Amino acid sequence: MIRHTSSTNVRPCARYELLVALTMNTPMVPFSSAGGLQRPATSPRELAIRAGEGNSHAIGRLLRVVTPNVVGTVRAILGTQHPDLDDAIQLALIGFVQALPAYRGDCEPAGYARVIAARTAIASRKRERQARARRDDDAEPDTLDGARPSPSEATAAGERRELVRDLLADLPEEQAETLLFRVTLGWSLEEIASHTGAPLNTVRSRLRLAKERLRTRIEADPALRDAFDRP
């Protein structure tokens, strides 16, 4: 994965657009002399359809539109300090561009991008969880006691957020993304159905199963119960 160098002159999110453009050999969109982006008079959906047809300038414009949505979604799932945050954002944007030929305009491109970003971030969380489990299996038992941050090292609210992120990695992907869209992004059940292509009753079922599984997991673990009971 291409790494970036920091610069105070780089517009927020622009580095991700640039890295994806370099990775996929997509030209960036030129700016006008006034500093604004030259945009055609088309809707985002029309722009996405053009991008899916291989229009490289449409791809560049579309990346500028959806990158903040992708960045926000991945950060919400992984946390702002996650070591793989930048890689996950880049992978999500690349996955979005690669999925554009299948886009049919039945939802907003930003929502389409958020779904792909969520799936990418969830997959990253699952890989991290599996790697941590392997490390824990290899570690000496007395070295595991200090693995969880103490209350003095993190606030209770921050610890709970991280615990929820870890718990989501235990859920099947469809259940995890449905819960995230509902809780983190605030989407209605109808919006989730529209963006994921799942029937409304299926969305309801996935959300119910996700909540039940999380509740069972928390109730079965005294440490988790204690973390969520703390003010």
**Residue type at 194 in one-letter notation:** S
The pLDDT value given to residue 131: 75
Tokens representing residue 32 in the block: 């006008």
Domains observed in the chain: 11-136 (1.10.1740.10), 152-231 (1.10.10.10)
- DSSP state, 26? -
CB 71 within 8 A of CB 13: yes
Q: Report d(CA 179, CA 211) in Å as an integer.
A: 8
Question: How many degrees, rounded to 5, is the angle at CA 193 between CA 104 and CA 84?
Answer: 85
Quote the pLDDT of residue 186: 86
pLDDT of residue 43: 87
pLDDT at 226: 72
pLDDT averaged over 10-residue windows placed end to end, the chain, 231 residues: 44 61 53 45 83 88 91 90 90 94 90 94 85 61 45 55 76 89 88 91 95 86 69 56
